[in-house]
Each structure stands twice: as structure tokens, then as C-alpha cells.
Structure 1
Amino acid sequence: MSNTGRVFTFYLAAVGALVLLTLLPGPDVAVVTRFALGGGVAAGARAAVGVVGGLAAWGVLTVVGLAAVLAASATAYTVVKLAGAVFLVGMGVRMLWRSRRRDSLPTDARPAEAGHAARSGLLTNVLNPKIAVFYTGLLPSLVPAGGSPRLWLPLLVLTHAVLSLAWLVGYAAVLSRSRSVLGRPGVRTVLDRVTGCVLIGFGVRVAAEAR
């Protein structure tokens, strides 16, 4: 096999690993769910773009070596972890609180929520130190033997960002098409409460997880 063929094979294997990791449910999916149900595919897509922006931020830090410092520092890791946990729990609590007053409101009663969808998606990942651990721990292992990390790490980060954006926007589109059913006041209230509890659960898990 030629060197080009080996490189392509390594890259396909890396893409396969990144696809599996991308499809794992996490706080980013819960946040996109929240905004896609509330504001449709546009709001869900904004949240997805924010999530990918968070990945890109960690990717840049990984390439320049700062993410490794965070991953190695127990104090810095704990600070970011607790901030992320508070953010997720707070978002979940707000959803539960609002759901108490929305039983008689239509799905689009709060269109202004779409305005901060991207910011919420961004903070969900920026305040998730697990991504720093993932990028500094797993991505280097996906670099082929003899490959330059300076070339491969940005490529892998970009690949992960593209896969994540495609998956989350597609997921938001599927949810938005179901809004005629999912957007009914009673159904929407139940979904908001479930999503709120999921966000709180993710926040608690983030706070309790070790590195």
C-alpha cells in the first residue's frame, strides 16, 4: 500500500472513532433539544453552531498546548467543571420553572429564546473540561505513526467539528418537523420537564465526575 493509501486508511479509522463519539448523547444534545423544540430548526441550528464553537475553542487550545495544562491542573479542571455544572443545572431549573406556567401557551410564545441559543450551546462546551481531556488524550492517539501532530490535530479537530455540526443540525431538523405533535401545550410541557431534568442530571454528573 502506498503512503497516501496508508494515510487515507488512518484518517478513515479516525473518522469512524469520531463518529461514534459524536453520536454519544451528552449535554450538547440536551441543549439543542431545548432550543429546537422551543424555536424550531433555526434555534436548534444556532445552538448547534454554539456547541461547535465550543469544540473549536478547545481545539485551538489543544493545538497550542493550553488544554493539556488545564487537563493536568486539578484546580483549573475543578473550577471549569463546577462552572459548567452550575450552568447546566441552572438551565434545567429554568426549564422546569417555566414549564409550570406554559401549560396553556403555544409553542412559539417565547420566540426570543432563539436569540441566546448559540451562546448557550457555546457555554455548554466551553465549560466542559471533559472535552479538554478528550482532545488531549484521544486525539493524539489518532495521529498515524510518523504523522505530524501540528498537521493532524487541526485536521481531527476540524473533522470532529464538522461531524458534530452535521449531526446536531440534522437532529434539530428532525425535531422541528415533529413540532406539530411535540409542540402541543401538554406534550411540550412534559418534554420541557423531561429535558430540564436531563440537563440537571448532566450538570450533577459533570460536578461528580473525576478526571
Structure 2
Amino acid sequence: MIAIRLRSSCGAALVGVLALATSGCGLSAELDRETNPERKPTPSETRAVLPPVSATPSPSVSVQPVSGCPSSGLRFEVGRVDGAMGLRAMTLSMTNCGEQPYELNGYPSVSVLDEAGAPIPGVRTAEGTDEVPVAPPGSAPEPFTLKPGETARAGLLWRMAAEDGTYLRVAPDKKRDFVNVRPEEPLDIGPENILGTTPWAPAS
């Protein structure tokens, strides 16, 4: 699966960053021994505490209900953002909470909105990941039926930019109704960027 390969590559990159940080700690300790041989305690830094990002949607933006099954019979959820070396990835899930089966064969329809609910200028959604630099290749879509109670997943990938994305407007495909969802953290996709998608696949 694409998500597994992506986590592996991101994990390897994060291990490399961690190794650099570890070597930096050793150098810092050596410099401290030279400048403070008597090991006198140094005053701790005072760090400013930033307020948490509000999860309350803007009054002008209609979002999916927090609980229950929407009238469409489909409920969307987004995972946390994984990232390393400037590549970002997120899982989009869709659960059939209704009573009718849904036929799927393709990619989700997704657009990125700012805090006011307006599309971010220049952010273009692409079917597949070929246009996202250093993103792993995706698989071809395959048809399947999403039965009541079942979940499908797709991947969203982009290159890091400014943190302008607040909401995602999502739909199973371009022919169906959209709904707005708000991720737990801002999406650093910024303007003039490409959001790559992987096809829907049954959740394993």
C-alpha cells in the first residue's frame, strides 16, 4: 500500500535527522565543558507558551457534523500529517455509515480552503502523485463496492509550503456532493502548489 511505503521513507528520513541531532548534542556538551569546567548551573530559558490552535470552525464555513451519520450516508475523516524532507502525506478515510452500497472506481475530489472557506489560489489537485516532487508512485484505481459499515482510504500528498490550508472540501468523486472537514492541524500547502491523490482502496 502507498501509505506503508510512504511511512517507511519518511521514517528513514526522520531517523537521519535524529542522528544529526544526536551528534549535535555531543558537540554541544563538549563546548559546555570547555566554557563551564566547574559545571555551574546555568539559568534555564523562559519559553513563551503559545495558545493552542482553535478547532472551532469559522461561522461562515459549514463543516461535517462532529458525530452521527450525515444525510449522504458517508462520513469522512482525515489523519494526522506525516512528513519528512519537505514531503507531506495525509490519509483520507470515507466510511459508509448509511444503508446503501457505494460503487467506487477512481480518486477522491479534494480542494484546499483557507480559514474563511475560500479555495487557496493556485492550489491544484492532481489524480495520482506524478506531479508531486519525490512522492512515491501511486497505483492505478480499481473498482470495488463500499458496503454499509465498510471504510475506504486514499492518500493526499504535497510539498511543504506556507501554512495556509484550514479546511478540506472532499467528495467521493467529482460527480457527488462535497462536504468540508477540518484537520487537526493547518496544512502547509500554501499557494501555487499541487495536491496529489491516490485512488480509493478498501481499508485493510
Pair member with larger Rg? 2
Question: Which structure is higher in helix share?
Answer: 1
Judge same fold: TM > 0.5, yes or no.
Answer: no
TM-score (norm: length of structure 2): 0.25
Question: Which structure is higher in strand share?
Answer: 2
Structure ranking higher on relative contact order (CA contacts 8 Å, 6+ apart): 1
TM-score (norm: length of structure 1): 0.24
